[in-house]
Amino acid sequence: MIELLTPTEMQRVDRLAIADGSPGIALMERAGAQVAEAILRHFAGARDVLVLCGSGNNGGDGFIAARHLAEAGMHVRVMSAVAREALAGDAALAAQAWSAPLERLSTDHGRPDLIVDALLGAGLRRDVAGPLAAVIDAVNTSGSPVVAVDLPSGIDGATGAIRGCAIQARQTVTFVRCKPGHFLLPGRELCGERLLFDIGISDATVDEIGAGTFANRPTLWQAHWPAIAHDRHKYDRGHVGVVTGGATATGAARLAIRGAFRTGAGLVTALAPAEAAFVLAPALEGPMLRIADTADDLQKLVAERKISAVVIGPGTGVGEGTRKNVLGILATDAAVVLDADALTSFEGEASLLLAALRQRPRPTVLTPHAGEFHRLFRGLLPDAGSKLDLCRHAARQANAVVLFKGADSVVAAPDGRASIADNAPPWLATAGAGDVLTGIIAGLLAQGMPAFEAASAAVWIHGKAAADFGPGLIAEDLPDQLPSILRSFVRPWRDDDPLRVD
Ligand SMILES: NC(=O)C1=CN([C@@H]2O[C@H](COP(=O)(O)OP(=O)(O)OC[C@H]3O[C@@H](n4cnc5c(N)ncnc54)[C@H](O)[C@@H]3O)[C@@H](O)[C@H]2O)[C@@H](O)CC1
Ligand SMILES: Nc1ncnc2c1ncn2[C@@H]1O[C@H](COP(=O)(O)OP(=O)(O)O)[C@@H](O)[C@H]1O
Ligand SMILES: [K+]
């Protein structure tokens, strides 16, 4: 698992490491040396380097990097936000080891080959304004590439927000663990390439913090990947039911059906109103079709057909009919994925939905994009907050896993765990992509994967499918990308191959 540590959590980790016998200046020495090493590797041709140092420990890393770069033969100028005498603690020690003059921080940078941004890191406390904002603007318009230390100055490490203004970096060198601000937009964009370095703080020290935010990577969820074995039949591999829209609105459900089937659900059934039957029947081969015109019909089918996970929302229409169907399905034992119209149908009536969710013991995943999220939770969450904070609040309020979609999709569980994805390419924003995603989630839920892991895995796989396909992607392409991705997660099954003779 790859934890993401907020700046406050990172400071706690630093303090624990210092208490365990790693002096702060030793950590800073390693951090500054790693910055220099990254620059020597990636900007080997740079001759003139300008290092901009702030008044805190981020500046301290900058002084140390400057020393290493000068020792490596680069021509290095250092500008400092404060005079040497005004520096304190480890930053003061780091500055002492830089024997060349310190220039006053100004906007007069010239056109160096490289600028090192060591102005502000984890200690950002308020919006950047005044002379410091002018320096940041000058850096951004200088045309010189920038390597940011820890975070691009002005980016809030906990939220990814721009506090007033921020550096646009070519590369960001950070330490121990990435921060949520490296993953959440707009912070992620301003980081450029992200490089993570060890500075001698152990995993055990990080574990002591009990971080609850994770990079969405297979290491987060692959231990929960559904097992597959020879002695299983299709019913053991789960049965997904997808509620469809009427005769002219079945496409979204068909995308979800294909996503669920390709993800490995043993059976998939379209649960369709009678008017859609003749449109759907010729469009389905492996998946089955059952008629459900009312919430009662849906409940009966879920029970009779032993449906283990239901998708409702894509193309089902906004209004009373969908509201009743959602509430009916939430009363069953199936795992449920609520998307699109299933969420919008509760606009202004979220309390109805939340009441049903709070008393529901079975796994539920809500998959709103930003518009659906704000429509559903308007007035129920704090006015301000990062995507991560809002998603966590929503998951707690709804007693459900909430997947807040977008280029930086966040998945949060009611117990406070959250994942942030950074692998979705921009061309994934195409009509119907979300419908396929709901199918992938349901396919994993039906096979018994827990909801937080299933939603996180689906987001990562969906992003990878889009990245593998490349530009020109349409939602219909996504399911066919799945087999090559899923291959790497199938746990090896026993295969004695009795025909082989050695
Ligand atoms: N032992 C440690 O704690 C380590 C810290 N490291 C570095 O230390 C950094 C954190 O250091 P600090 O906690 O000293 O914080 P920073 O150096 O990020 O910033 C703190 C300083 O900036 C000022 N400041 C905050 N917001 C401002 C704003 N909007 N405008 C102008 N000034 C502002 C504060 O008053 C304070 O003087 C990390 O980002 C990392 O680069 C690394 O050296 C590794 C070890
Ligand atoms: N800028 C973006 N970059 C990458 N992925 C994106 C971006 N915008 C949206 N997505 C992803 O594309 C999908 C769109 O889903 P959704 O908004 O539900 O569309 P639809 O309802 O048409 O299926 C989601 O998985 C979302 O996370
Ligand atoms: K910085």
Q: Which domains does the chain have, with CATH numbers?
A: 7-211 (3.40.50.10260), 218-486 (3.40.1190.20)
- In this prediction, residue 14 has a pLDDT band, given cuts at 50, 70 and 90, of very high
**pLDDT over 80 at 175, yes or no:** yes
**pLDDT over 80 at 451, yes or no:** yes
The SS3 call for residue 300 is helix
- Supply 262's token pair: 């390709």
Contact 191, 408 (CB under 8 A): no
pLDDT for 379 equals 87
pLDDT for 383 equals 79
- Residue 239 φ/ψ, nearest 5 degrees: -125, 120
- Show contacts of 322-328: CB within 8 Å, 24+ apart: 323/349, 323/352, 324/294, 324/295, 325/243, 325/294, 325/295, 325/298, 326/353, 326/356, 327/295, 327/352, 327/353, 327/356, 328/294, 328/295, 328/296, 328/298, 328/299
pLDDT for 116 equals 98
Q: In this structure, how many other beta carbons lie within 10 angstroms of the beta carbon of residue 114?
A: 23
Q: For residue 363, is the peptide bond before it cis, meaning its omega torsion is within 30 degrees of 0?
A: no
**pLDDT over 60 at 186, yes or no:** yes
- In this prediction, residue 496 has a pLDDT band, given cuts at 50, 70 and 90, of low
The SS3 call for residue 48 is strand
pLDDT for 381 equals 87
Render pLDDT for 232-290 as a digit per residue (tens, 0 to 9): 666 678 999 999 999 999 999 999 999 999 999 999 999 999 999 999 999 999 999 99
- Sign of the Cα pseudo-torsion (387, 184, 340, 355, in order): negative
Mean per-residue pLDDT of the chain: 95
The residue among 326, 376, 334 whose CA lies nearest residue 356 is 326
- Supply 312's token pair: 């409702």
- In this prediction, residue 456 has a pLDDT band, given cuts at 50, 70 and 90, of very high
**Beta 410-412 vs 401-404: how paired, if at all?**
antiparallel
Among 1-5, 284-288, 390-394, which is the least confidently predicted range? Answer: 1-5
Render pLDDT for 399-422 as a digit per residue (tens, 0 to 9): 999 999 999 999 999 999 999 999
* Ligand 2 atom nearest 314 alpha carbon: 21
Q: Average the pLDDT over 43-72 and give the result.
A: 98
pLDDT for 380 equals 87
- What is the 8-class DSSP label of residue 418? E
Q: In this structure, how many other beta carbons lie within 10 angstroms of the beta carbon of residue 462?
A: 28
Q: Average the pLDDT over 354-374 and give the result.
A: 97
Ligand 2 centre to CA of 404 (Å) is: 10
- In this prediction, residue 495 has a pLDDT band, given cuts at 50, 70 and 90, of low
Among 77-86, 132-141, 167-176, 383-392, which is the least confidently predicted range? Answer: 383-392
Q: Whose CA is nearest to atom 5 of ligand 2?
A: 407
Alpha helices in 359-402 (DSSP H): 370-377, 387-398
Residues whose Cβ atom is located within 5 A of ion ligand 3: 117, 121, 148-149, 153
**pLDDT over 60 at 349, yes or no:** yes
* Ligand 2 atom nearest 367 alpha carbon: 18
**pLDDT over 80 at 136, yes or no:** yes
Render pLDDT for 471-493 as a digit per residue (tens, 0 to 9): 999 999 999 999 999 998 876 55
- The verdict on the CB of residue 120 being under 6 Å from ligand 1 is yes
* Ligand 1 atom nearest 27 alpha carbon: 45
Per-residue HEC secondary structure of 81-124 comes to CCCHHHCCHHHHHHHHCCCCCCEECCCCCCCCCEEEEECCCCCC
Q: Average the pLDDT over 173-201 and give the result.
A: 97
Among 40-49, 99-108, 231-240, 423-432, which is the least confidently predicted range? Answer: 231-240
> What's the ipTM?
0.96
In angstroms, the Cα distances linking 310 to 90, 158, 207, 401, 458 are 57, 35, 36, 15, 15
- Supply 378's token pair: 């308007």
Contact 96, 85 (CB under 8 A): no
C-alpha 6/C-alpha 122 separation (Å) is 8
Q: Whose CA is nearest to atom 18 of ligand 2?
A: 434
- The verdict on the CB of residue 28 being under 6 Å from ligand 1 is yes
The SS3 call for residue 372 is helix
**pLDDT over 80 at 222, yes or no:** yes
**pLDDT over 70 at 78, yes or no:** yes
Task: Confirm or deny that 122 is annotated as ligand binding.
Answer: yes
Render pLDDT for 299-308 as a digit per residue (tens, 0 to 9): 999 999 999 9
